[in-house]
Structure 1
Amino acid sequence: MATYGSDDLTPLLAQQPSAGLGYRQGILRAWNALNAENTVEVGGTLIENLPILNTNNDALQLAPGDVVGILTTGTSANSWMILGRVTMPGTPAAESLLSQVSSGIAVGVVTTQQSTASTTYGDLATVGPSATVTIRATGKCLVILSSQMGYATATATGGCKASFVASGANTIATSGQRSINMGMNTGAPSTFRVDQFGATFYLAGLNPGVTTFTMKYGAQNGSVADFSDRVLVVFPL
């Protein structure tokens, strides 16, 4: 069996008929990750702005020089569509693609139980957790917060809150709209309570580049807020 040292599978494929459904391969010569504008070389001819059939995470990884599969429906390129990147198993290109997908997610964890009585967001004795990612050209990401929250002193009204900030290519301040909260108003003192809270926040319009996200904490109504098992996950889209 013949072996091939590149991603070009053309030798493995028979020429398709000139009409009807078919398949060809091309080389991506230009790619705009913001709006998918593209230039593809097919058989020595440059074709502008072929539609993209596969717009999931694979499309985010496209780059000039990639070999792409093309679905053809007739002889005119006006009815052709890019299926996606062609990647040969076991090649450096395959390793690079899978590494980009998996390494894009960053996770920070702090398990230590610590507390604050401050009603404004700030750090606990152990800062964080933090997670550093590279925001892609899409300018989008998901931020996931999770923490155990509670209080150990008797209180009738109070609670806990946790949000996050960002620094680097993007500057983001804490916000009640991007926070997890535990509050109570029982009318009578309660001596102990612990709950697990989590939420996912979608961010858009970010600047591409390296950005660090860090969790911040606060108490509500002057109670002493306890936090433990803190987790921060950032997933660039």
Structure 2
Amino acid sequence: MADKKISDLGLLAVADATDLVPLVDVSGSVTKKTTVGGLAAAVIANIPNASIPSSKLSLGAQSSKVVTGQATSSTSYTDLTTVGPAVTVTISANGMALVFLNATMFSAQTSMGFAISGATTVAADDVNCILINTVTSRLSGAFLVTGLNAGSTTFTAKYKVGSGTGTFVDRVISVIPL
């Protein structure tokens, strides 16, 4: 292989971290070898701060908002007249997403959670919700969701009250697949 140019070598479609890569060491003007993993680590370590434009960092984040105020008297998680808001994202193999909820809520014991459907199905619950015990509040919450299946997954806001009727305004759900 010493008599072949690198451009004449066959193409490796998928490289493993331990595969070898030729590299010219400019400090000694000599060709050496490194691994794909070693090269990747060196590239990451040598990227100057703030040199990658934000457009190149898109993780497929999605956000949706429903402005209309609507009410429910359901004591279990349910949809309002205008369902959602809801977003659909693609979950990667690591099975994680960061979910943000935000709403203005009126009435004591009022909750906003979310259900998951698609590649993974999970009902809304009191673990991943924002809750008020006062009369009126603007609340936000962030939830790391793990154990999701890879693939297209929809996150839909759901609502409930402890008693009486609760009203929800300016409802927002945002999801960042990780």
Q: TM-score, normalised by structure 2?
A: 0.74
2:14 aligns with 30
Kindly provide the CA deviation profile for residues 19-63 of structure 1, in whole angstroms up to 9, marking residues without a partner as x: xxxxxxxx98426xxxxx53545239xxxxxxxxxxxxxxxxxxx
Is the 1:167–1:211 Cα contact (8 Å) retained in structure 2?
yes
**Matches of 1:207 and 1:116 in 2, distance apart?**
31
Kindly provide the CA deviation profile for residues 60-81 of structure 1, in whole angstroms up to 9, marking residues without a partner as x: xxxxxxxxxxxxxxx5647944
- Name structure 2 gaps, 5 residues minimum: 1-10, 24-31, 45-51
> Which letter does structure 2 place at the counterpart of 1:125?
T
Q: 1:234 to 1:28 in 2, by over 3 A?
A: farther
Larger relative contact order (C-alpha < 8 A, sep ≥ 6)? 2
Is 2:170 the counterpart of 1:229? yes
Kindly provide the CA deviation profile for residues 122-160 of structure 1, in whole angstroms up to 9, marking residues without a partner as x: 011110000000001221110001110013xxxxxx420
> Which letter does structure 2 place at the counterpart of 1:38?
A
**Matches of 1:141 and 1:200 in 2, distance apart?**
10
Kindly provide the CA deviation profile for residues 191-220 of structure 1, in whole angstroms up to 9, marking residues without a partner as x: xx3210110000112111000000000111
Structure 2 counterpart of 1:177, from 127, 136, 141: 127
For 1:1-237, list aligned pairs within 5 A: 29-30=13-14, 38=17, 40=19, 42-43=21-22, 77=34, 80-82=38-40, 83-84=42-43, 98=55, 101-102=57-58, 104-151=60-107, 158-184=108-134, 193-220=135-162, 222-237=163-178
**Matches of 2:152 and 2:13 in 1, distance apart?**
26
Q: TM-score, normalised by structure 1?
A: 0.57
Structure 2 residue matching 1:38: 3-state secondary structure: coil
Structure 2 residue matching 1:30: 3-state secondary structure: coil
**Matches of 2:109 and 2:38 in 1, distance apart?**
58
- Name structure 1 gaps, 5 residues minimum: 1-26, 32-36, 45-74, 86-93, 152-157, 185-192
**Matches of 2:161 and 2:139 in 1, distance apart?**
15
Is the 1:29–1:38 Cα contact (8 Å) retained in structure 2?
no
> Which letter does structure 2 place at the counterpart of 1:149?
M
**Runs of 4+ more than 2 Å apart:** 27-31, 37-41, 75-81
RMSD over aligned CA atoms reads 3.0
Is the 1:29–1:41 Cα contact (8 Å) retained in structure 2?
no
> Which letter does structure 2 place at the counterpart of 1:43?
P
